[in-house]
Structure 1
Amino acid sequence: MIIDTVTVADAVRSRLERSLLAGDYPAGAEVRDTHVAQQLGVARPTARVAVQALIADGFLVRESGKSARVRSFTPEDVADIFRVRRLIEFDAVVSVCRDGDTAGIAASLEKFAAVKNDQDWESAAQADMCFHSAVVAAAQSPRLSSLFQTISTEIRLLMALLRTHYPRISTLRDEHAGLLEALNARDPGLALRLWAVHLEDAETFLSQRIGETMLST
């Protein structure tokens, strides 16, 4: 049996990623190696490796000679990301309604049970992402899943911005339970209508919030 070794840099990277997905860092915020090292009690080179890994994964960006920053988005970025999401997820929804196995989707929905309180947005965001990933996977198209993976980092970062839109995590869970019910009903028309409302609601909120933030800076 092979046991994976988790380095200190891996642990720091994982901790930072969780903080980013929990919305602890606003879009555009600096993530300085020195601050990370001090905050987590690790050596600066270790913090630098962790930050660089998050840059490589698309969570952070860094211009030459400057500190890393949390990736930010414009309303146009949001529109484009959701355009691609619709292309992928709508196709997956139709496929699942036709003959897909929803067991994996139902199992992903149970991840919402791990959310202990309404402040645990990190777990809620992970459960949301797991649900949508499971729907795409249920379509049994490796290329569709691969395409969804290419925008997964952007989706997860945008999820962090949805925190104030769902003050009660149970609301988010109930929305996804309704989506699963539509899939189990094998009614593509109903499922697509619910999916369109779900995605449009998130896109509208994100576009307005990001637009307001841009105007205030």
Structure 2
Amino acid sequence: MTNDSFAGPLSVGGATPIATTSVADAAEAHLRRLLFSGALKAGQELRDTVLAKELGIARPTARTAVLRLISEGLLEREPGHSARVRSFTAADVRDIYAVRRLLEFEAVRVITVEGRSTTQVAGALTAFARAGDSWEAGPDADTLFHTAVVAAAGSPRLTRTFEGLASEMRLMIGLLRSRYSSLSELYDEHAGLLAALESGDTDHALSLWAEHIDDAEGYLLSSLTDAA
């Protein structure tokens, strides 16, 4: 086994039993939590045989869970090789954040200029609050908040385009864990973003959005440089 092979343990904060109606669903959810918590590192190899042994499940079941995560873009697999945790280059980060600016800034303009309802965004923030300080829930909570903002602009096509970034966004948000002292700190940033939307002040909202996105992009780029 290579040094970056998946060697377990496959749990965060203690044992996590796989016990649901669908073992493949449970294995997928378990791996997803590890990905979003940062327990699995970029480029780390995930062998079906090792996963099956660690989780106490059949190899075909482990393979099914891995294939689902590959289809979402969370894992990647080259022909003839085991799956690996998706990794990002500096060019990937810049491209994804450039697209986010195009889509989110437009949504913010529409919401503030047209006075569109932010009820859906407020609901996403409430869900964010329920995550508490469990960082494993952070990537989903963050992504759902920003998706709700884009949806509030009222363009189904804009929303579908943004949703296409969801898997990559979740992984990148997972990489931001060391940027924040707790998930509550990240929640507070989003509460400020919602308040800016509700104020109807377009310039102020765009300024906060730019600061939020620039900070995340800058941290990710710096992390890639430090790891090189």
Letter in structure 1 aligned against 2:84: R
Equivalent position of 2:206 in the other structure? 192
Q: Do residues 31 (structure 1) and 46 (structure 2) align?
A: yes
Q: Does 1:84 align with 2:137?
A: no
Deviation at 1:149, TM superposition (A): 1.2
Counterpart Cα distance in 2 of 1:24 and 1:74:
20
Deviation at 1:113, TM superposition (A): 2.4
1:40 maps to which of 27, 37, 55: 55
Name the Cα RMSD after superposition: 1.4
Q: 1:205 aligns with which of 194, 216, 219?
A: 219
Name the SS of the counterpart of 1:50 in structure 2: helix
Q: Which has the higher helix share?
A: 1
Alignment of 1:102 with 2:105, yes or no, is: no
Structure 1 residue 6, shift from structure 2 partner? 5.5
Q: d(CA) in 1 for partners of 2:21 and 2:214?
A: 39
Q: State the number of aligned residues.
A: 208
Task: Show the counterpart of 1:56.
Answer: 71
Q: Counterpart in 2 of 1:13?
A: 28
Structure 2 equivalent of residue 162 of structure 1: 176
Task: Say if 1:124 and 1:169, in contact at 8 Å, map to a contact too.
Answer: yes
Give % identity: 50
- Secondary structure of 1:69's partner? strand
SS at match of 1:24: coil
Query: For 1:33-58, what per-residue CA distance to the aligned partner results, in whole angstroms no more than 9, with x for missing partners?
Result: 11211222110110011101111111
**82-91 or 97-106: which moved more?**
97-106
- Which of residues 174, 184, 187 in structure 1 aligns to 2:188? 174
Does 1:67 pair with 2:79?
A: no
4+ aligned runs moved over 6 Å, structure 1: none
Maintained 8 Å contact 1:115/1:124 = yes
Match of 1:121 among 126, 135, 138: 135
| TM-score normalized by the length of structure 1 | 0.92
For 1:125 and 1:153, the matched residues in 2 are separated by 9
**TM-score scaled by length of structure 2:** 0.87
Bigger relative contact order (CA 8 A; separation at least 6): 1
Q: SS of the counterpart of 1:147?
A: helix
| Structure 2: gaps of 5 or more residues | 1-19
1: CA distance, partners of 2:173 / 2:132: 18
In the aligned structure 1, how far is the partner of 2:131 from the partner of 2:25? 24
Deviation at 1:124, TM superposition (A): 2.0
Letter in 2 for 1:103: T
Letter of the structure 1 residue corresponding to residue 56 of structure 2: G
The answer to whether residue 154 in structure 2 is matched with residue 140 in structure 1 is yes
Q: CA deviation at 1:10?
A: 2.0
Q: Is the 8 A contact 1:74 1:211 kept in 2?
A: no
Deviation at 1:7, TM superposition (A): 2.6
8 Å contact 1:114–1:123 — kept in the other structure? no
CA distance in 1, matches of 2:187, 2:28: 28
| 1-structure distance, mates of 2:116, 2:177 | 31
Using the TM superposition, give the Cα deviation of residue 88 of structure 1 relative to its aligned residue in structure 2, in angstroms.
0.4
